[in-house]
Amino acid sequence: MKRTKRVLGIVLAAAMCMGLLAGCGGTPANSETPDSTSATETSEKVLNIATIGETSTLSPLYMIADNRLTQKLLYEWLVKYVDGEIEPFLAENWELSEDGTQLTSYLRQGVTLHDGEPFNILTDENYGFLLASYRKYAELMGVKAHHVPGRNIGESINQLVYDMETLLKDNVGVNIEQNQQHLYFNLWKYHQWGEYTLYYFPVKFVEALNPVLKRISISFICDMANANGIATILDGEETDMVLDWLETAEWDEPETDTRNRLATIRSYRKGKVRRLLKRVEKTSYYKNLPAAIRKYSPKDKWETTLLELMTEGVQFLFPEKPIMHYCYDPYFEEEPDYWPMGLDRQIRIAYDIYDIVTESLENQYNSERQETYDLIPVTTMKISPETDSLFRMEDDYPERFFRWADKFINHISNKEDGKE
């Protein structure tokens, strides 16, 4: 699906204005009835809300789907939806340029940050910082910086975005982002994805291993996953939806298939599959796993290849930057019709990539992605007037990770098939 580049209007970053958090709902501290006339009945009420997982970041550009609730609590938007209609919120009004490339929004008066400080990003200071950053980067490229200011600060900043895009051409992307009330250019570029559409690491193969190699394999996948922020498919909200659908939908199938399907669902909910995935998620048997891998003597060709791949994969047990930290949405929207497919849904630990549950998850993913786009690992670079080097993709961690994962997943999947 073609990706539509988000418009970098003069208040693109203004959408990130911090909102106030307030507790609500709950149960009074005392047990008096609503009819009680106690003058001290002033206990605060608290509403506890369950979320799928721990919030990984407070930046909306890097938030995964599981963090949507946190995002809505923290940030206020330029506009809001009321009964399907767009109404002003932080922005009083807006106008679109004739060529449709620039959206100018005008903030209402009196907008403040969470600490009461006035909110204003359309300042001479921000414009000067962006202009100096642009000129410095052009100098590093050996190109003459060309910029014609607009009629006001907002138009001038928009023009700077266009100037930076022209300077960079199609080699590197650029966004304006915000830190507090300061704006800066953020350069970005995609890394190369691997051969698989989804990187599901199946762990069913460990069931056929001898006890020592089984412990080594479980420890390796556990350490690799934890080091890179990779979760199991049990952590996804869509997994419960798929299990419910597989259990309650009407199926035209032989009775034997029905029994097998329901048995698989039970195993995922509270049986063997769930126990193994939880074990892989939390259990590492070795303090020095690389030494354990070197010490093991493989019994056949398949084990030899497995040990070679784990040895190659040791580099991913201690990453400077985990694979999930490359998740960045260059086309971030405040209220998209469909959220992009994050890395957390594309890279996972699974039980069996061929069973009905995993296949259903893949089908659901492929259906949802028709309405949106996949997030691909990205490297970014914040530039300033002090920047002393050009943006370069010197970090090839995602490429190395995917090349190795292509081989590793293919090998352990063949073991599941009984192939050598």
User: 157-185: per-residue pLDDT in tens?
Assistant: 989 999 999 999 878 999 998 887 789 99
Give the span between the Cα atoms of 205 and 195, in whole angstroms. 21
Can you give the pLDDT at residue 58? 62
Can you give the pLDDT at residue 308? 97
Side-chain-side CA neighbours of 260 within 13 Å: the count stands at 8
Can you give the pLDDT at residue 420? 45
Mention every residue, 6+ apart, whose C-beta is less than 8 A from residue 389: 140
Can you give the pLDDT at residue 332? 84
Q: Give pLDDT < 50 ranges for the chain.
A: 1-41, 417-420
Q: What does the domain layout of the chain look like in residue ranges?
A: 124-190, 199-236+280-380+390-417
Which contacts (CB < 8 Å, 24+ apart) does range 154-158 have?
Answer: 154/9, 154/10, 154/11, 154/104, 154/122, 155/10, 155/104, 156/127, 156/131, 157/10, 157/122, 157/126, 157/127, 157/130, 157/183, 158/8, 158/9, 158/10, 158/102, 158/104
Q: Tokens 């138009």: give the residue.
A: 155
